[in-house]
A and B are shown apart, each in its own frame.
Chain A
């Protein structure tokens, strides 16, 4: 079945450590996104990528980094510079094109819950 796979589902990290969250999709979607969700809050956009080898900062990019070397993969690194990294991280993808002018439906993964000890 086509979809988005995030791993790991749960992750614990010590302060000062970098950690990388994996996101893989087999939907042949061009665009991919990372969101962060804190308890009782909505989703906030960290980074997004419209095509391979290109990505843009979202609303809360500080302390995070991404890469988009392959269409299927968009890993997120939470660096030690991120002050409050404990959160639920969601990856999503959508069909996009340079001439897109219509609706944009996102497909989400199941999420990764990061806890900093």
Chain B
């Protein structure tokens, strides 16, 4: 799986957009970009994923650059409850490969939303 690089921490004011970057310069053609978040002492929660196109759901938007070497997770109107560790993960889509079924979580970005 491609390695990802995220800033260790970020701050955001409540009500403003939170833009969390992720670099994945070694991503290959069949690898998806996933975002999860983990609130303290809870299990990670899936947010969004994408392959090539930008994606949006009720939680967030995912912007993937044209060369797919980086992406940004956008929380459009951050709230205090969005304070969490955000993980960017890249993983292949081919069945039977050595990375089949596995998501590798790095240390993520600690997002702190303040009043």
Contact = CB atoms under 8 A, between A and B. Distances in A.
Given A103-B32, A105-B34, A42 B87 contact: yes
Contact of B46 (A100, A101, A106): A106
**Most A-side CB within 10 Å, residue of B36, B51, B103, B107:** B103
Contacts of B51: 103
Interface of B: 30, 32, 34, 36, 41-46, 49, 51, 87, 91, 93-95, 100-108
Interface of A: 4, 31, 33, 35, 40-45, 48, 50, 56, 58, 88, 90, 92, 94, 96-111, 113
A103 B41 contact: no
Contacts of B93: 100-104
A108 B44 contact: yes
B95 A106 contact: no
